[in-house]
A and B are shown apart, each in its own frame.
Chain A
Amino acid sequence: MFFLYNLERRVTLHPSYFGKNMHELVTGKLLKDVEGTCTGSYYIISIMDTFDISEGRILPGSGLAEFTVGYRAVVWRPFKGETVDAVVVSVNQHGFFAEAGPLRIFVSTHLIPQDIKWDPNATPPQFTNNEDTTIEVGTHVRVKILGTRAEVGELWAIGSIKEDYLGTLQV
């Protein structure tokens, strides 16, 4: 789910950048450092704006200036039970991997409807029910997230398409 979230971060600036456009530089550095990262429980998709850039404080020893920046960001946190659209990136006999933006979701054969079977002889290898559904690399699928796990900077998720209205999307 997407949220608009107020966050705060300390940004350091090298002395060679000290000058009148420091605030722009700080914002630029913030964007570079933060956008597209994963904090562990959510992804920071985009920074809307910054507010309240504090006065710079020189760090003793290094001479870098430290600014505390408050900013507003669009974050995405995948929840258990959430339904997302994803693109299949890899298929094997145990299931398939799909990517919903930055999140990689694994859908195992147990969570794929019984009639959709693994067909290793097809080119490329795919899951298919030999009718309207074929899941191969590049297929768009709608997946329900069954569980997520977070480590520093990374998120993983398990998905299912074994429910109504889940599975391949007709593009």
Chain B
Amino acid sequence: MAKTLKLGQRLRYPITISKIFKKPGDGVVKKEPILQYTFKFERMIGDPALNEERTIFENGIADWDSPTEGKIKQWRVKEGQVINNDEEFVVVEETCSHEVQYAGLCALCGKDMKQQDWATESLDTERATVSMVHDNVALTVSHNQAERAEMQLQRRLLKERKLSLVVDLDQTIIHACIEPTIGEWQQDPANPNYESVKDVRSFQLDDGPRGLASGCWYYIKMRPGLLEFLERMAEIFELHVYTMGTRAYALNIAKIVDPTQKLFGNRVISRDENGSMTAKSLQRLFPVSTNMVVVIDDRADVWPHNRPNLIKVTPYDFFKGIGDINSSFLPKREDIIAPAPVPDPKPLTPNGNTPSAPPSERETTTVKSDEENALLLLQTEEQERTLEKQLKDRPLLHLQEKLDREDEQAEKLSNKDGGDCQEVNANGHSETPSHHPRHNLLRDDDQELIFLENHLTELHQSFYEQYNARVATRNMEDITSSFVPDVGLTLNYLKSQVLKGTRIVLSGLVPLGVDVRRSEIGMHAQDFGAEIRTRVGPDVTHLVISSSRPRTQKVRQAARIPSIKIVNQNWLADSLAQWLKLDAIPYLIDIHPSDRHSQEAQEASVSPTRPRITIIQSGHRDVEKSQNDEAEDGDADDSAEEDDDNDGDEEEEMDRFDVMPRELEDGEGSPVDGINQTGWDDVDKELQEFMGSDAESDLESTMTDQSKDTDTDEPKNKKRKLTEADEDGSFEGSIGSALAKKQRIARARTTALRNVKNIGDDDAEGSGLPTPMGTGDEEEVVAEVVGEGEGESKGESKGEGEGDGDGDVDGADDGEMEDFADLEAELEAELEAEGQG
């Protein structure tokens, strides 16, 4: 291969070529002179001590040594020529182009590539920098070589009408854990989890830096239908494994999933060869073109550069709470649309009893759960002991959490023995509904692979349709890589059709300080053609909310616009998983009546009846059971009613956890009461002094927060209405005062619980120091504000949310007196309302 040599930067130009040693066709070896040149340079001579120094010009003669071995092909300079700057001067036909290198050795000629000497112009190792072999990073090839290899690969795949499919392991096709309980469950056919875990595979792995856990057992659950899925996919895809686990782990999994090596062969890459602990890259395997590569992974954020090629899979979470045991090096997962707690249809049968399980069975279950509990406790201890010694990347923390939750559940179950069934039902609200009444923690009901297979088949078809259209007129030999359509574009197109035309507002799903459009869920939804809006407006089609916080500001806004469907996050998650714009009806969230009718209520100025939370989450659609939809719908209705019935209990239950004593909530008999009734004028004055123009967001979030905390509070309903009036923009100036009042009430309550304080104290406290109770609430406030992505700029709302007190003081300093008239009017109006209530 011919290489053109340059003279190099370090010569003293201008130079004159004085002699050329080699004729074209002559062989040269490394460090052999091929050219002689002369140059002029300045030099000081004489004795500096005697001040006889002077500058003279001298002629220098130097050789130019060949940095490479080969044959001279062509000279581009002549003897006697003067050269003024660095330029190419000779073409050498190299003996070896060192295109494949292994650990610093040329794999073609066996020469050491890391040697450097005076003749070296550039490092030979830089000729081969692309690492594209699955199981070895020391083997590198040149870009040309990589291109050739990839061209060959594409040709072959096109001929076989296949694509490449890069498959992630953990939580995509399998779920792994090292919890020893699984092994014991497997041994015990009487265990309620036995059915689920009996086909769990295990292997022992002496695996690197895991401290005492090395040599522990790994339990591997394959996603339901995996083998069939992979076999069918192997017909239209060439499968690769790309995991963040260690190599030994990856190979063991591959052995389980693919014992004959027919599916994956040796195309397994692990974090040992990945080159990065935090990100995967298709360029590692396909350095030149990813046109024919599809990725399936449960995490999108580990593929920063290959999003177009990625099909994001719903994480497979079989061993509850374990997560991905190999993700300890990855950034914390932030993308999941946490599936709304799926209400178990069974406990919510019309008669309100814990259903179907005959008493005897339930008893045995309890016994079992007690046993299990003891067992788990033992293991907890054991694991804690190991945990101490294990490196911190061990996922046992998750295990611990899981065990804790199981303990809690077992506790509940043992409660159930004594207590009334209905009460238990009410107790077991929203926190642990995913637990089966029979206490089998592990469920085997995942259907993702069915959807995934459809998506992949569809993608494959549409890719080859495009390809056929492009090459219809040409014969196989002419086909170059430029004819290969980009599967990423195809995938994007397919995805973008799914939610096309929907305009979505997210509420309560994106954490604090994150741009909704940049968040994982936002990007994911946008990939699928949905338009993400930050504000509720008339053209919005869906408001997706977190079912754990069904009463945000946006819900109230959206409730006024009948065309907006307010759905829980499962709608979005399921739509994205199934690539279907699902009917919103099963996911609709029943709006809080006071939210729904807020406007009328406000006009009437009559406080509505005691509000109730009625959330219908018949959520998860069962694909296979679409036949039974009607029946299920019926069930769902029933369960909704059931929910209603239980609501009272539920709220009582909530109050039990609430900080506030009952009488406080009613606004009677509390120390604050006096302030409420008599000190109002003082308060007003105080407020006038301290209140500036606070942001609306603060107010809203405070409101939302409080209204959520204490649903039963009637006066608050009025305040909420008032707030809504503010939001409508009728009282711009009143915002500050209302906010201040809220804050004051909140603070007064805190103090009421602990010790009585004056308002003056509160104010003093409010000057920047965190209030004792305020912190928790305020955090939530902030979260909500940003989560809702209101109009205010993020920094502003955040800053104010963090330091309400500061804001107050600043406002006073600013002395915005012109607002105060409005403020006062507003406060008085509110006072009146309070008095009526």
A residues near B, CB below 8 A?
80, 90-95, 97, 106-108, 110-111, 120-121, 123-125, 137, 145-149, 156-158, 160
Q: Are A108 and B260 in contact (CB under 8 A)?
A: no
Give A156 to B104 CA distance when docked, in angstroms.
9
| A162 → chain B closest CB, angstroms | 11
Residue of A nearest to B145 (CB): A94
Q: Which residues of A contact B108 (CB under 8 A)?
A: 108, 110-111
A91 B112 Cβ-Cβ under 8 A: no
Residues of chain B with a CB closer than 8 A to A80's CB = 110
A123 to B153 CA separation, bound complex (whole angstroms): 17
Question: Are A94 and B110 interface neighbours, CB within 8 A?
Answer: no
Please measure, in the bound complex, the distance between the C-alpha atom of A26 and the C-alpha atom of B153, giving whole angstroms: 57
User: Which chain B residues lie closer than 8 Å to A125 at the CB level?
Assistant: 265-266
Q: Which residues of B contact A124 (CB under 8 A)?
A: 261, 265-266
Provide the residues of chain A in CB contact with B136, threshold 8 Å.
Answer: 90, 92, 97
**B265 adjacent to A147 (CB under 8 Å):** no
B156 near A: Cβ within 8 Å? yes
A110 proximity list for chain B (CB < 8 A): 100, 107-108
Complex: how many Å from CA A110 to CA B141?
13
Question: Can you give 30 A-B contacts (C-beta < 8 A)?
Answer: A90-B135, A91-B266, A92-B134, A92-B139, A93-B133, A93-B149, A94-B141, A94-B145, A106-B139, A108-B100, A108-B102, A108-B107, A108-B108, A110-B108, A121-B160, A123-B261, A123-B265, A137-B266, A147-B109, A147-B112, A148-B105, A149-B104, A149-B114, A156-B102, A156-B103, A156-B105, A156-B138, A157-B105, A158-B102, A158-B107
Q: What is the interface of chain A mostly: helix, strand, loop, or mixed? A: strand
**Distance from B5 Cβ to chain A, minimum over Cβ atoms (Å):** 24
The reply to whether B109 and A146 contact each other, CB–CB distance below 8 Å, is yes
* Residue B262 is within 8 A (CB to CB) of chain A in the complex: yes
B111 interfacial by beta-carbon distance below 8 Å = yes
In the complex the two chains form, is A123's CB within 8 Å of B260's CB?
A: yes
Interface positions of B from 135 to 154, Cβ below 8 Å from A: 135-136, 138-139, 141, 145, 149, 152-153
Chain B, residue nearest A160 (CB): B110
Cα A165 to Cα B103 in complex, Å, equals: 27
CB contacts under 8 Å to A, within B252-279, are 260-262, 265-266
- Which residues of B sit under 8 angstroms from A121, Cβ to Cβ? 156, 160
CA distance A120 to B260 in the complex (A): 15
B115 to chain A: closest residue by CB: A149
Expressed in whole angstroms, the Cα–Cα distance for A80 and B111 within the complex equals 10
Which parts of B51-107 form the interface with A (CB within 8 Å)? 100, 102-107
Q: How far is the CA of A92 from the CA of B137 in the complex (A)?
A: 12
CB distance from A163 to the nearest CB of B (A): 13
Interchain CB contact (< 8 A) of B106 among A91, A120, A147: A147
Cα-based distance from A97 to B145 in the complex (angstroms): 18
**Least CB distance, B685 to chain A, in whole angstroms:** 77
Quick one: closest A residue to B156, CB to CB?
A: A120
Given known contacts A156-B104, A158-B106, A149 and B112 CB-to-CB distance under 8 angstroms:
yes
Chain B residues positioned under 8 Å from A146 (CB to CB): 109-110
CB proximity of A120 to chain B, nearest CB, Å: 7
Residues of B within 8 A of A123 (CB): 260-262, 265
List 13 other contacts, CB 8 Å, given A94-B133, A94-B145, A121-B156: A90-B136, A93-B153, A94-B139, A94-B141, A97-B136, A106-B139, A107-B107, A111-B107, A111-B108, A121-B160, A147-B106, A147-B110, A158-B106
- Given A92-B135, A94-B100, do A158 and B105 touch, yes or no (CB 8 Å)? yes
In the A-B complex, the 10 residue pairs with the closest CB atoms: A147-B110, A146-B110, A108-B107, A156-B103, A106-B102, A158-B110, A92-B133, A149-B105, A110-B108, A158-B105
Q: In the complex the two chains form, is A149's CB within 8 Å of B109's CB?
A: no
Q: Are A147 and B105 in contact (CB under 8 A)?
A: yes
A149 CA to B124 CA, complexed, in Å: 14
Cβ contacts under 8 Å, A106 to chain B: 102-103, 105, 107, 139
> How near does chain A come to B255, taking the closest CB pair, in angstroms?
13
B residues in contact with A137, CB < 8 Å: 266
Name the B residues within 8 Å of A97 (CB-CB): 136
Question: By CB atoms of chain A within 10 A, which of B103, B107, B138, B261 has the most?
Answer: B107
CB neighbours of A93 from chain B (8 A): 133, 149, 152-153
Q: List chain B residues, Cβ under 8 A from A147.
A: 105-106, 109-112
Cα–Cα, bound, A11→B625 (Å): 74
In the complex, how many angstroms separate the beta carbon of B649 from the nearest chain A beta carbon? 62
B110 contacts across to A, CB distance below 8 A: 80, 145-147, 158, 160
In angstroms, how far is the closest chain B Cβ from the Cβ of A26?
A: 31
User: With the chains together, A147 CA to B113 CA distance in Å?
Assistant: 11
- Distance to closest chain B CB from A33 (angstroms): 23
Contacts of B266 in A (CB 8 A): 90-92, 124-125, 137
In Å, the complex CA distance between A163 and B105 comes to: 20
Say how far A126's CB is from chain B's closest CB, in angstroms.
10
Nearest residue, chain A, Cβ from B135:
A90
A157 to B108, CA, bound (A): 11
A contact residues around B138 at 8 Å (CB): 156
Nearest B residue to A122 via CB reads: B265
B806, chain A: closest CB distance, angstroms: 59
A155 to B699, CA, bound (A): 69
Give Cα A147–Cα B105 distance, bound, in whole angstroms: 7
A31 to B160, CA, bound (A): 56
Contacts of A90 in B (CB 8 A): 135-136, 266
Please give, as numbers and ranges, the residues of chain B lying within 8 Å of A145 by CB-CB distance.
Answer: 110
A147 to B110, CA, bound (A): 4
Q: B residues within 8 A CB of A157?
A: 105
CA distance A120 to B106 in the complex (A): 24
Q: When chains A and B are docked, how far (Å) is the Cα of A97 from the Cα of B149? A: 18
- Bound-state CA distance A93–B238 (Å) is 15
Closest Cβ–Cβ distance, residue A158 to chain B (whole Å): 4
- Give the complex CA separation of A149 and B105 in angstroms: 7
Chain A residues with Cβ below 8 Å from B260 are 123
Residues of B within 8 A of A95 (CB): 100, 107, 139
Which of chain A's residues have a CB closer than 8 A to the CB of B152? 93
A108 to B136, CA, bound (A): 14
In the docked arrangement, what's the CA distance between A108 and B138, Å?
13
Which residues of chain A are near B133, meaning CB under 8 Å?
Answer: 92-94
| A125 and B263 alpha carbons, distance in the complex (Å) | 11
CA distance A93 to B151 in the complex (A): 12
In the complex the two chains form, what is the Cα distance from A152 to B138 in whole Å?
16
User: Residues 504-540 of chain B: 1 if any A CB is under 8 Å from the residue's CB, otherwise 0?
Assistant: 0000000000000000000000000000000000000
Cβ contacts B335-369/A at 8 Å (1 or 0 each): 00000000000000000000000000000000000
Bound-state CA distance A160–B262 (Å) is 29
User: Closest CB-CB distance, B113 to chain A, in whole Å?
Assistant: 8
Closest Cβ neighbor of A125 among chain B residues: B265
CB distance from A137 to the nearest CB of B (A): 7
